[in-house]
Structure 1
């Protein structure tokens, strides 16, 4: 009877979905993976790490099929690769469903994913060079690896840049808050948000700033203190309002606007191209398209840095303006407090 009460349902699995994901995953993977998760979670003790390893083994089998290189092997490799990816999408959902996720599991999953992609790409391009003698496939192998590596290096660096900008803004606002309190500006605790408030998009949640609200708002300094968040995409949104409407449409369906990401890149090269027989064209145009989307993201981040610099300058100037009104001893005390806090 106790087991029946703890049976996971399809709705439970859907609750573990990411708020936004690649369109290939949303449309072609999640509907299958979620239905496989229900019996797996309810009737087996399979762990997320075991699923990651099984997915990797299937990926290696797909790489071997790609290495054989004939059409039947390529089709078999394409099907195995897609099944491997479906299982790979199951491990994270089961971890969230059962609360069994771990840092090691995440590292294992990411590492095996990268190895699988590189091996499959090398096997696919080398087999076609071996069978046809066409050196173009070797150049395409280099292009494939360059695009794939650039995409993930770029994602890591941009994540660090966004985190650094948010951190600097939080630190600057904390200093502004302390300075305002020293000047006698009363700060009230913000009201608790409703627990049933709809979850925000991940990009919007990343922009939240934990800042208390003052009881009075008489000037630009107090206005800065009132702001609980700052949007680092103001410049981008002002230039591309149509894009934002399209983005909202896709987000309502859980699809992110990065329409050709690393996932679509893999699927088109390892699933679509072997079946339709357009390896050269898919690898070339897929790599170009992936880099084009990455360039668009870099441009978007560049606009965000302009928003950051503008806001950071406003906060710094507001802090300096309040500091100028403080008695010398209060100013020194504030400096000592900041030095103690830094330690």
Structure 2
């Protein structure tokens, strides 16, 4: 027997990220949250089941793309979007029902990459078979490389940032570390924006605040927008080559910015670590002196 349905408001509060990609906020979450409300009471619909369903839709999109026909490109773009919606549902179900697992995280990541690989192979391979233009094969290689690069780069940058943060936190009081973690959960930092001063601030700051109030992160073109541009907008419009090239340029610019931010953070890290160590030594000296 299914359990009592949860409300949309509860789903939003418990499963929405504080900030997310504009494509997800505007075109995915409204549909995904309603579908989650329908399936959440049925506990046999687990995150892993949804991951597999998303993969089925994804491979359906690949089958459409492989034909190279105009109508099939549109159908493939629609199927890819449905695949992405279902893929977003698995995380929401995991958070809502507490059914997420470490294996599920691995499965979701691996199938995402496999799905994108075969969809790219089908989309550009289908266009090569239809037109005989070798440029589509080069475009396929670049699209696959960029998708893999952004995931590997993101994972490695996250690892470096966590390492620096852990080393600094090792010299801080547990209460201060917990307070910072709580603040990050409540108001996640956005490296692309700057806080506005009291009384208004610049146009850039006001735009950033408006976006964040609507849960939209201020870096408007990243990995999600790249995939949506290449596998939805490009095939639906028929402008596969120019849109894929423009999306690749946008993704490279975004990744270059993140690498620059990481470089700056690594430059500042020795000073922050030294300051944290000095503060720790000072507190320990005061503690020992007061206990004597």
TM bucket (normalised to shorter chain) is 0.7 to 0.9
Name the residue aligned to 1:10.
Answer: 8
Q: Work out the CA distance in 2 between the residues paired with 1:126 and 1:253.
A: 39
In the alignment, structure 1 residue 83 sits paired with structure 2 residue 92: no
Between Structure 1 and Structure 2, how many residues are aligned?
Answer: 280
Q: Conserved in 2, the CA contact under 8 Å of 1:63 and 1:77? A: yes
Q: Work out the CA distance in 1 between the residues paired with 2:6 and 2:230.
A: 35
Deviation at 1:63, TM superposition (A): 0.5
Stretches of structure 1 lacking an aligned partner (at least 5 in a row): 178-188, 205-232, 331-343
- Give per-residue Cα distances to partners, 1:246-274, cap 9 Å, x unaligned: 43322211111231111111111111111
Instruction: Give the TM-score taking structure 2 as reference length.
Output: 0.85
Give runs of ≥4 in structure 1 deviating > 6 Å: 320-323
Deviation at 1:44, TM superposition (A): 6.6
Deviation at 1:302, TM superposition (A): 2.1
Tell me: CA distance 1:30–1:163, structure 2 relative to 1, closer, same or farther (3 Å). same
Q: Conserved in 2, the CA contact under 8 Å of 1:143 and 1:284? A: no
Instruction: Please provide the CA RMSD for this pair.
Output: 3.2
Name the residue aligned to 1:214.
Answer: none
What does residue range 142-181 of structure 1 map to in structure 2 within 5 Å? 142-173=141-172
What does residue range 11-160 of structure 1 map to in structure 2 within 5 Å? 11-15=9-13, 16-42=15-41, 45-160=44-159
- Tell me the SS of whatever aligns to 2:148: helix
Deviates more, 1:86-95 or 1:308-317: 308-317
- Tell me the SS of whatever aligns to 2:209: helix
Tell me: CA distance 1:52–1:158, structure 2 relative to 1, closer, same or farther (3 Å). same
Tell me: CA distance 1:274–1:197, structure 2 relative to 1, closer, same or farther (3 Å). closer
- Tell me the SS of whatever aligns to 2:254: helix
Name the residue aligned to 2:198.
Answer: none
Q: Work out the CA distance in 1 between the residues paired with 2:37 and 2:55.
A: 21
In the alignment, structure 1 residue 200 sits paired with structure 2 residue 154: no
Deviation at 1:7, TM superposition (A): 2.5
2:216 to 246, 255, 272: 255
Q: Work out the CA distance in 1 between the residues paired with 2:226 and 2:238.
A: 16
- Give per-residue Cα distances to partners, 1:288-333, cap 9 Å, x unaligned: 100101111111222222332222222344566789x79xxx9xxx
Larger radius of gyration: 1
Stretches of structure 2 lacking an aligned partner (at least 5 in a row): 196-200
Name the residue aligned to 2:232.
Answer: 271
- Give per-residue Cα distances to partners, 1:110-136, cap 9 Å, x unaligned: 111111111111111111111101111
